Amino acid sequence: MRAVAALVAGRGREDVAALFGVSLKAVDIWRAKWQAGGREALAMQPRGKPVGVHQVLGEAEQAGVRQAVLDYRPCDVGLNGQLWTRRLIGELITKLYRVRLTGPGVGKYLRRWGLSFQRPDKRAVEQDPEAVARWHQETWPKVRAKAKADGGEILFADQVGIRSDQVTGRTWGEKGKTPVVRRSGNRFSVNAMSAISAKGRMHFMVFAESFTAEVMCRFLDRLAGHFDHKVHLVVDGHSAHRSKKVHDWLAAHPDDVELHFLPPYSPELNPDELVNADLKHSLPRQHRARDQAELAAETRRFFHRRQRQPHLVRGYFGGPHVRYALDKNPVSF
């Protein structure tokens, strides 16, 4: 409008073009629009192509790709992998329609389809809120008091299984809906038991067999050998923890270890669960262990590395659900 006003005021088209930093052609177009339709003809028009114009994929093709991403894993449609990435979705489009898109191009379609990059989540398990409240208000304060009275140390322990075909990372899914990934059958695996303290100490054992009462007793033997004072070990209600063999071991070592049990279905109360998550996240994502021995070696390397990083071990106690273990007054949690 100001350019046209300058023209109406008598300024030459060359002066107007120089003043507003535009071409002579632009000045001529504005003047022609003004003469044809006045102020309304000069109203701003949206720039660029309308949404959906000149898309490489048609509506039906887009719908097919979107549904494939939501209903199948990459390996179900002849691609490598269990989680969708932009690269794999681009490969799917090429496979189906012989069209090659860049990563940003695939990303534009995904956003248009209402999909977002998410981490697959497990289904929540039920727990007893009253049992959790009793843990915070009654049980945990007693555990802390007993450990203080006998000069002991509190550790949290848990066992974890690591499979060669485990899935870690994120995949694409509908916004607001957490994608669920179907797991393939067993290949090879190893197991580990670890225990951590708020002081930054970590102890672990990697083993190939299933977790049983015998394995638990072996872990307790090794754990007790590392301490010159009593260990108060907080664990979940696994059957091996409550077995007769473990009970007999504890009875024979009353000054070495005492077990305390978390409420059922409450893994979020155990900071050692964060060790398990860290382990699975830290194992190599691109390189897959070729056999059980290699997977066990990778697992041991992780634990040895964390043992040399007590500040990270203490960090496991900083989560919102486990911070109570650092609170001097756990009743106020």
Show the domain range for 28: 2-42
* 124 belongs to a structural domain: no
* 211 belongs to a structural domain: yes
Tell me which residue of 245, 198, 237 sits closest to 219, measured CA to CA. Answer: 245
Q: Tell me: do 139 and 287 sit in the same domain.
A: yes
- Report the domain count for the chain: 3
Q: Tell me: do 99 and 144 sit in the same domain.
A: no
Q: Tell me: do 155 and 32 sit in the same domain.
A: no
Length of the chain: 333
Q: Tell me: do 217 and 272 sit in the same domain.
A: yes
Q: Tell me: do 328 and 267 sit in the same domain.
A: yes
> DSSP character for 20?
H
**What torsion, rounded to 10 degrees, do the Cα atoms 16, 18, 19, 21 define?**
110
Inter-axis angle of helices 103-112 and 86-97, nearest 10: 90
Q: Tell me: do 222 and 283 sit in the same domain.
A: yes
Q: Tell me: do 288 and 140 sit in the same domain.
A: yes
Q: Tell me: do 297 and 151 sit in the same domain.
A: yes
Q: Tell me: do 97 and 225 sit in the same domain.
A: no
Q: Does this model's pTM top 0.75?
A: no
Q: Tell me: do 226 and 318 sit in the same domain.
A: yes
Helices of type H across 10-155: 13-20, 24-37, 59-71, 86-97, 103-112, 129-134, 140-149
* 122 belongs to a structural domain: no
Q: Tell me: do 81 and 159 sit in the same domain.
A: no
**What torsion, rounded to 10 degrees, do the Cα atoms 237, 249, 191, 195 define?**
70
Query: CA–CA separation, 196 vs 325, rounded Å?
Result: 12
* 120 belongs to a structural domain: no
Tens of each residue's pLDDT in the chain, 333 residues: 677 777 777 778 888 777 777 888 888 887 888 777 777 666 655 554 454 445 789 888 998 899 899 988 888 888 888 889 999 999 999 999 999 999 999 999 999 999 988 766 443 446 788 999 999 999 999 999 999 999 999 999 999 999 877 655 667 677 778 777 654 454 789 999 999 999 999 999 999 999 999 999 999 999 999 999 999 999 999 999 999 999 999 999 999 999 999 999 899 999 999 999 899 888 865 456 788 999 999 999 999 999 999 999 999 999 889 999 996 533 332
Q: Tell me: do 16 and 70 sit in the same domain.
A: no
Residue 145 to residues 25, 149, 253: CA-CA distances in angstroms? 86, 6, 20
Query: CA–CA separation, 250 vs 150, rounded Å?
Result: 16
Q: Which residue has the tokens 């114009």?
A: 53
